[in-house]
């Protein structure tokens, strides 16, 4: 038997999942925590972690009913992992008693936690005995009901009083795998036919986004290695066309893609124009991803590693025709793809990131030609990172004009949820877009 054919015991997957959950609780991103997981364990642990993050609010509420005093962080992480997997007996991947036994085994085999095994076993067996009553007690708890932090829920209730429940429902759903065809090589409709010939179900959405019926490994996508297609949500695919839409046939443009990693939007820009594109990224490791992605697409940009607000470190003084600022944000619009984000963020992050966005927008505006255009975007659904940012910028820049823009695109899952106010149809993440033009006095 080959080593990779040996079944990995559930207790080990639960043990590692608890470490990932604990890492996010301590401030590490889910992506980074999962990157540290052994490759053989990673697929199972990632699936378990995503499930737990989508049910963690309920699990923590149940934990509070089962214990008088919260256990140590490592024990609590394993206990909450088990409760997240156990609480809804209608949608369980594993038998309840198997989960309890394997959770206790995970505790016993964790350094320093063995003395907690009887405590965790007693909590979980009590939960199984009283499951219906305990779950009913948590039904009125907003955090348990919606599996988001209370501050997040309250912010949406205030900012989107008519839509907040639909937004949270969409955030808890599973996102589809969406593709962008490289029009230098193949048109979206042509690639759709290629997928069909390979037995891969997909549909073509407005704007050319291709949504797969079920996710597949990228290696199975025809022409992926040759750069014919990229994975990118349909909302994110709107950035490059929006920035370039008003330049007519002009293709030799000087363009800046700020905060560019991992390079999806950089690649899209270069697929549409033969311009001079600079991709700027503050993190050196993430900047490497830009180059790698462009190499697969057969495209080239001037990739720079620098802080965008420190102009003297990277800017040569020549003004840009167009700027794409995909600013750092809370990522509150992509929690269906990254469910860890809701537990990673703190309420204070919103204001801090909004100030960073304002500084980036104001600084990069100075590098834009008169008559040039700048797209400001974030993958956020919070007004502080969208409409409020635009209002502040326009109030402080008399030469800035807001052109027709999508504004807030709220996350939704096609026909599964009601169409939200002022939103496009389809299945997409949450995003915000504003297109500015720099005008003369």
Residues 6+ apart with CB under 8 A from 331: 338, 341, 345, 379, 380
SS3 256: strand
DSSP 51-120: HHHHHHHHHHHHHHHH-SS---HHHHHHHHHHHHHHS-TTS-SS-HHHHHHHHHHHHHTSTTTGGGHHHH
Burial of 98 (0-12, 13-18, 19+ CB in 10 A): exposed
How many CB atoms neighbour CB 440 within 10 A?
Answer: 6
Pairing of strands 276-281, 427-428: unpaired
CA 209 to chain centre: 18
For the question of residue 377 being annotated catalytic, the response is no
CA angle centred on 230, ends 229 and 231, rounded to 5°: 135
Q: Single out the catalytic residue among 123, 259, 377, 379.
A: 379
Element (H, E) at 203: strand 202-204
Per-residue CA distances from 120 to 73, 79, 104, 113, 215 (Å): 13, 7, 7, 10, 36
Q: Tell me the catalytic residues.
A: 379
């Amino acid at each position: 038997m080959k080593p990779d054919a040996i079944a990995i015991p559930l207790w080990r997957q639960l043990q590692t999942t608890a470490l990932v959950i604990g890492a996010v609780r301590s401030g590490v991103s889910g992506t980074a925590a999962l990157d540290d997981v052994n490759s053989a364990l990673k697929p199972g642990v990632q699936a378990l972690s995503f499930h737990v993050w989508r049910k963690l609010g309920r699990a923590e509420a149940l934990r509070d009913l089962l214990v008088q005093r919260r256990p140590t962080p490592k024990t609590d992480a394993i206990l909450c992992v088990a409760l997240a997997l156990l609480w809804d007996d209608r949608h369980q991947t594993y038998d309840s008693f198997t989960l309890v036994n394997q959770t206790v085994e995970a505790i016993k085999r964790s350094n320093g936690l063995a003395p907690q095994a009887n405590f965790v076993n007693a909590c979980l067996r009590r939960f199984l005995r009283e499951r219906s009553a305990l779950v009913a007690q948590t039904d009125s708890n907003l955090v348990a009901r919606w599996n988001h932090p209370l501050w997040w829920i309250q912010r949406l209730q205030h900012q989107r009083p008519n839509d907040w429940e639909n937004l949270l429902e969409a955030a808890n759903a599973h996102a589809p795998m969406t593709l962008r065809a490289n029009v230098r090589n193949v048109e979206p409709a042509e690639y759709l036919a290629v997928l069909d010939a390979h037995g891969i179900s997909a549909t073509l959405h407005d704007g050319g986004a291709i949504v797969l019926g079920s996710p597949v490994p990228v290696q199975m996508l025809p022409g992926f290695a040759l750069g014919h297609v990229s994975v990118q949500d349909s909302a994110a695919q709107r950035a490059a066309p929006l920035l370039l839409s008003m330049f007519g046939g002009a293709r030799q443009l000087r363009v800046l893609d700020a905060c560019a990693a991992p390079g999806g939007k950089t690649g899209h820009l270069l697929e549409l124009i033969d311009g001079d594109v600079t991709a700027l990224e503050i993190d050196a490791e993430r900047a490497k991803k830009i180059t790698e992605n462009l190499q697969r697409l057969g495209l080239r940009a001037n990739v720079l590693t620098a802080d965008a607000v420190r102009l003297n470190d990277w800017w040569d003084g020549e003004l840009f025709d167009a700027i794409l600022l995909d600013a750092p944000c809370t990522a509150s619009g992509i929690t269906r793809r990254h469910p860890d984000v809701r537990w990673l963020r703190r309420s204070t992050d919103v204001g801090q990131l909004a100030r960073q966005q304002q500084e980036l927008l104001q600084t990069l505006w100075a590098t834009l030609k008169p008559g040039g255009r700048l797209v400001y975007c974030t993958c956020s659904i919070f007004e502080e990172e969208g409409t409020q940012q635009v209002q502040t910028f326009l109030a402080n820049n008399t030469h800035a004009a807001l052109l027709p823009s999508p504004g807030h695109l709220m996350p939704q899952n096609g026909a599964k949820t009601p169409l939200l106010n002022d939103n496009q149809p389809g299945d997409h993440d949450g995003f915000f877009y504003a297109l500015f033009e720099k005008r003369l006095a």
